[in-house]
Structure 1
Amino acid sequence: MRRFPLLLLTPLLTLCTAQAASFTVGLAFDLGGRSDQGFNQAAYQGAKRAIDETGGAVQTFEPRTLAEVGRGIPSMASKGAGIVVGVGFSNNAAITAAAAKNPGVRFVTVDDLPKGPNTTGLRFREQEGSFLAGYLAGKQSATGRIGFIGGVDLPVIRRFRAGFEAGVKFACAACQVRSVYVSTTSQGFSDSATARRLAAQLLAGGHDIIYAAAGASGQGVIEQIKAQPCLKAANLPAGVKFRANPYADVPRGPAEQKACAGDTRPTFFIGVDTNQNALGDFDKNPATLNHGLTSMVKRVDNAVYAVIKDVAEGRPWRSGDRSFGLSNGGISLATDQYNKALIPDDLQNSLKKLEGLIVSGTVKVPAK
């Protein structure tokens, strides 16, 4: 990575060279930045993989405040980028404006639909994977109370919420889902402190599984689960009781055994965008109980990779909406060494069957 001198108060603009810079990709991040362990990071991984194969360079713009989101897009387009990708809906207005002024450049928005014949939107059927995540949570919750934390109340986040709530109810009609939001602005995707406070409130209400569709804010949820790895029967609110103990036989590390002695049940987060299961391995031992139940993975990396490869290799441009879901590898639930013990074989089989029913259209998943 080469970093070029910049004024101290300007956003971060870098050029990452894979081979000779004969083809340049402009990648404008949303708040949270390239290393958010989520949406932005996945987009960068996809762009880097495409450039490693085709040659060229990735130029990135990293906003430090909400007001800076999208500012790097015009300069990327005017300085020779063959394709400019804006990550997140907040970049969409800048992508549409730059596309109108640079008809020879291709423009992409991840998670929204820009305007113009030289633009395309990479959008995902988040509700499909969220339905599976909700089904898993409904089957495995020890209290029947489950939480959802959205970054902002937007159409894309409503798809997460609608699918998740429907999946919980499909598995457990008596279960309750409480949904809350971090903010009313895009700051909701980079405010881990507020997300952590909301997670603490949900846990206090007896919600033992929390699904966060909130970008980098989701790190606050993980931090709160780490601080409170179990619910204690004596601290449950009135009217809430443990209904099951599905993880009684999963071994736990010494620290957790001590902290969660007596009548307790473990707490879990469900990761989003990338596979965040490993972030729930608080004792650095995959053999003991993990607190990442699963992750609803949006293969932003695959989508960004595919559209960049098309442009770099001269394939015909497809404007408009490109949709990704369970049927074409755009959405999946993550299973690995960290959460395998949390999802019994019979439940794994049920999830596979349910996925097939969603793809075939037999099970209709709501998007709002």
Structure 2
Amino acid sequence: MTLMHKFLGAAATVALSAGVAMAEPGLIIDLGGKFDKSFNESAYTGAQRWVEETGGDYMETELQSEAQREQTMRRMAERGANPVVVLGFANASTLEKVAPDYPETNFTIVDSVVDQPNVQSIVFSEHEGSYLVGMLAGMASDTGTVSFVGGMDVPLIRKFACGYVQGVKAVDPEIEVIQNMTGTTPSAWNDPVKGGELTRAQISQGSDVVYAAAGGTGVGVLQTAADEGIYSIGVDSNQNYLHPGSVLTSMVKRVDNAVYDAFQSAAEGKFETGVQVLDLESEGVAYAVDEHNEALITDEMSAAVEEAKQKIISGEIEVHDYTATDSCPVE
């Protein structure tokens, strides 16, 4: 082999390895907007944290309509993004179809399970975190009535609601829990006006604590609760700061960690497909206490919830998962 051939071979090897190393991850922000102060924003925050800590870069697209799901996913894969991270259960059927067409591309879906060899599925034990904030709602209520506002009426959101009801009833089986969903289409994730209307109706029925699991719609729920002088409970991101002294707590779902870990594991060559469940034990879900709400959480409330948390982790308390049976044992 001539010196020139050796040089070209080495250059090709370097170029090839550089090409592998330079593959950027991609993030597809779901409907409802990047700055929904909830689910999508948590994902964006995780991606930004990865950029700040590693100096890496990533591709990003924000969905504007249902019709864009497949085209956006394919375009991201064809641009060379790896892994491609998609957010929300609504992407599951599309990813089932798209993933096999790009076997060299890894995908991560947050909030659903897609059984393909190149897909990492990340799901959360939302029912466990919702149980804990339900306990806090039950202990904070003076009227004996609390409520729940969901976004789109789907099993995942009923999983939040069912966990919440179980936590409330663990405090006092006599407490009434009013439940309303915002709608049956994706627009239900981004309708703060409707969220506010539902909250006012619940307040008129006696609710003095409302839990919102509704994406951007929840911003209207929390605003109305603050305006009307009742407590609210935020979701996904820590929303305590939005109305200090009014937001009792937030059921934090670490979508940010899921995105960060997908990006970082790929960068390190340690990306693993299959299903990952982020639960209370792994701190995938939690209730938030900070300077904005610590005055609202008494020592008694904290002790009760921490005890329940440990019992859930140990298996002594089993919180029913709505999605396992499409039903809730308590209403």
TM-score range relative to shorter protein:
0.7 to 0.9
Query: Using the alignment, how far apart are the partners of 1:51 and 1:103 within structure 2?
Result: 26
Query: Using the alignment, how far apart are the partners of 1:306 and 1:341 within structure 2?
Result: 33
Query: Using the alignment, how far apart are the partners of 2:278 and 2:134 within structure 1?
Result: 19
Is it true that 1:84 corresponds to 2:75 in the alignment? Answer: no
Query: Contact 2:83 / 2:262 at 8 angstroms: preserved in 1?
Result: no
| Secondary structure class of the residue paired with 1:182 | strand
Percent identity, aligned pairs only, is 38
Which residue of structure 2 lines up, in the alignment, with residue 323 of structure 1? 277
Q: Deviations over 1:161-215 (max 9, x none)?
A: 1110000000011101011100111221111121111111101111011101111
Letter in 1 for 2:188: G
Query: Using the alignment, how far apart are the partners of 1:89 and 1:61 within structure 2?
Result: 17
Between 1:118-127 and 1:67-76, the stretch displaced more is: 67-76
Q: Give aligned pairs, total.
A: 302
Letter in 1 for 2:181: Y
Is it true that 1:276 corresponds to 2:230 in the alignment? Answer: no
The gaps in structure 2 that reach 5 residues or longer are: 1-20, 323-331
* Alignment of structure 1 residues 116-127 onto 2, 5 Å: 116-127=116-127
Query: Using the alignment, how far apart are the partners of 1:177 and 1:354 within structure 2?
Result: 20
Query: Contact 2:131 / 2:164 at 8 angstroms: preserved in 1?
Result: yes
Is it true that 1:345 corresponds to 2:307 in the alignment? Answer: no
Which residue of structure 2 lines up, in the alignment, with residue 63 of structure 1? 63
Query: Contact 1:77 / 1:98 at 8 angstroms: preserved in 2?
Result: no
Deviation at 1:158, TM superposition (A): 1.6
Q: 1:23 to 1:51 in 2, by over 3 A?
A: farther
Query: Using the alignment, how far apart are the partners of 1:68 and 1:126 within structure 2?
Result: 28
Which residue of structure 1 lines up, in the alignment, with residue 35 of structure 2? 35
Deviation at 1:34, TM superposition (A): 1.1
Q: Which structure 1 residue ranges, 4+ long, deviate > 6 Å from structure 2?
A: none
Which residue of structure 2 lines up, in the alignment, with residue 284 of structure 1? none
The structure where helix makes up a greater share of residues is 2
Which residue, out of 243, 252, 258, partners 1:303?
258
Deviation at 1:92, TM superposition (A): 2.0
Deviation at 1:115, TM superposition (A): 3.0
Q: Deviations over 1:26-74 (max 9, x none)?
A: 1111111111111111111212223444443221111223333454211
Between 1:61-70 and 1:198-207, the stretch displaced more is: 61-70
Query: Contact 1:66 / 1:187 at 8 angstroms: preserved in 2?
Result: no
| Secondary structure class of the residue paired with 1:116 | coil
Which residue of structure 1 lines up, in the alignment, with residue 248 of structure 2? 293
Query: Contact 1:294 / 1:334 at 8 angstroms: preserved in 2?
Result: yes
Is it true that 1:94 corresponds to 2:94 in the alignment? Answer: yes
Query: Contact 1:123 / 1:323 at 8 angstroms: preserved in 2?
Result: yes
Query: Contact 2:223 / 2:243 at 8 angstroms: preserved in 1?
Result: no
| Secondary structure class of the residue paired with 1:127 | helix
Letter in 1 for 2:89: F
TM-score (norm 1): 0.79
Deviation at 1:95, TM superposition (A): 2.4
The gaps in structure 1 that reach 5 residues or longer are: 1-20, 230-266, 282-289
Query: Contact 1:31 / 1:69 at 8 angstroms: preserved in 2?
Result: no
Query: Using the alignment, how far apart are the partners of 2:84 and 2:75 within structure 1?
Result: 10
Letter in 2 for 1:319: T
Which residue of structure 2 lines up, in the alignment, with residue 182 of structure 1? 182
RMSD: 1.5
Deviation at 1:153, TM superposition (A): 2.2
Query: Using the alignment, how far apart are the partners of 1:185 and 1:69 within structure 2?
Result: 15
Query: Contact 2:50 / 2:56 at 8 angstroms: preserved in 1?
Result: no
Letter in 2 for 1:327: E
